[in-house]
Amino acid sequence: MKICIIGTGFVGVVSAAVFASFGNHVIGLDVDETKIAKLKKGVVPFYEPGLTELLLEEQASGNLEFTTSYETAIKDSEVIFIAVGTPSSPTGQADLKFVWAVGESLASYLQKDAIVVVKSTVPPGTLPKLEEKIRARTKVKFTTAAVPEFLKEGTAVQDTLHPDRIVIGARDEKTFEKLAALHAPLKAPIVKISPESAQMAKYAANAYLATRITFINQIADLCEKNGADVQEIVEAIGYDRRIGNHYWYPGFGYGGSCFPKDVRELAAYSRAIGEDSNLLNKINDLNEHRIPKLLDQYDKIVGGWKRKKVAVLGLSFKPNTDDMREAPSLKVIPDLLEKGATVKGFDPKAVPIVPFFLQEHKNATYTDKLVEALENVDVILALIEWPEITTYDFSGARHKQPQWFIDSRNQFNKSQIQNWGYTYIGIGRP
């Protein structure tokens, strides 16, 4: 099948490479010339394990191309995916300006019976508006559909190759059939529903996962007051098959490009339709305030943050990505600096943006060598579970009394950290 994917972010590039690997001819389109120039040379403009190899392979096979020209990308495409960003607007609702711009730009090159598929996370009601914008510019007959994306950064290639399900939101059997055929090599269950349900399903999945994380964070807070250990709670309740213990660790709250944005959007959408008192507002508030609350709490334990030297380990929002969108480091570091601490930041990959962020303050430095970040620090704050951090031998870094080790995601063996002589501070652990 000839397909085109508009928007070359995580979702766009990974989907393009995976569809190409199934023998489709895929053109990736972006208006960002620098990004396209890199992609044409086989360079992925962000860090995502396994993606460069797949990209190079598919480019070499001739199945995958990149362009900045709408005409080249659209004129022969049977299926056109829109995978552009939908950032939060000041009201919290999704700002759809990029989706509209794409619709307007592609309209005049559409071929007959093409399917325009929105992969971006958008609210129900988006497709009729998009159709209107396209119809105002072309007489060609086309259809639209919503196929939301559920991949996770850091495991994006594997998630796309082995999805739990494919959700197709369409209004007619012909569109369902064509999109089901395109996704058939993935051998995943296909859920055929209306576009509105598909769009709500994406929001609901992310909001549910964010709620689950917030819930266990709340339980962790209670454990800290009563001597229970939240890790033991997760194990104990996880045996209940209705609950399970997978993908469930307490910590400093959720970050990244999806959960915070999607929860805020769903909350704003609820308010906009008159559902003012909704759980999602509260989830968002709890997550927003989690880091300042924990840092205030630790202030007492470490004897005041003022003049403390802190190694902040892990600056990206999670391991195996250099993405810093809504990363905990972006809240932790300014807060620590404000409290009078000195910060040494370390990350194995989130390098390019970090110096820009840290250079602005004389008390914050950055290194890509863990050992350097640990020199003469009072507090080690293990923020992100990069394997480089969780498997590191911290025994040699303890140089004086007292020295604290904050395990912000309960990733370390508490007894080992204590045996090395640190005062261990975990989440929801006695």
What residues act catalytically?
258
Residue 407 binds ligand UDX (CB under 6 A) = no
Tell me the C-alpha distance between 328 and 345, whole Å.
Answer: 12
Size of the site for ligand UDX (CB under 6 A): 20
Residue 215 binds ligand UDX (CB under 6 A) = no
Q: Among the candidate windows 245-253, 345-353, 364-372, 399-407, which touches ligand UDX by CB under 6 A? A: 245-253
- Site for ligand UDX (CB under 6 A): which residue of 317, 404, 412, 424? 317
Q: Among the candidate windows 104-112, 149-157, 183-191, 348-356, which touches ligand UDX by CB under 6 A? A: 149-157
CB burial of residue 72 (10 Å; 0-12, 13-18, 19+)? middle
Tell me the C-alpha distance between 366 and 342, whole Å.
Answer: 11
Residue 256 binds ligand UDX (CB under 6 A) = yes
Strand partners, 116: 80, 144
Tell me the C-alpha distance between 264 and 285, whole Å.
Answer: 9
Tell me the C-alpha distance between 200 and 106, whole Å.
Answer: 26
Residue 151 binds ligand UDX (CB under 6 A) = yes
Write down the least CB distance from residue 253 to ligand UDX, Å.
6
Residues 53-92 that bind ligand UDX (CB under 6 A): none
Compute the residue count for the chain: 430
Strand partners, 4: 27, 80
Strand partners, 65: 27
Residue 345 binds ligand UDX (CB under 6 A) = no
Write down the least CB distance from residue 206 to ligand UDX, Å.
6
Residue 249 binds ligand UDX (CB under 6 A) = yes
Give the residue with the Cβ less far from ligand UDX, 115 or 210: 210
Write down the least CB distance from residue 24 to ligand UDX, Å.
22
94: DSSP letter: B
Residue 149 binds ligand UDX (CB under 6 A) = yes
Residue 230 binds ligand UDX (CB under 6 A) = no
The answer to whether the peptide bond before residue 402 is cis (omega within 30 degrees of 0) is: yes
The position carrying tokens 């598929």 is 117
Strand partners, 28: 5, 66
- Site for ligand UDX (CB under 6 A): which residue of 264, 308, 318, 331? 318
Nearest C-alpha neighbor of 315 from the set 332, 298, 299: 332
Write down the least CB distance from residue 121 to ligand UDX, Å.
8
Nearest C-alpha neighbor of 258 from the set 266, 248, 246, 268: 266
Structural tokens at position 381: 């704050």
Structural tokens at position 11: 């979702």
Write down the least CB distance from residue 353 to ligand UDX, Å.
17
Q: Among the candidate windows 59-67, 248-256, 386-394, 415-423, which touches ligand UDX by CB under 6 A? A: 248-256
Binding site for ligand UDX (CB under 6 A): 149-153, 206, 209, 213, 247-249, 251, 254-259, 317-318
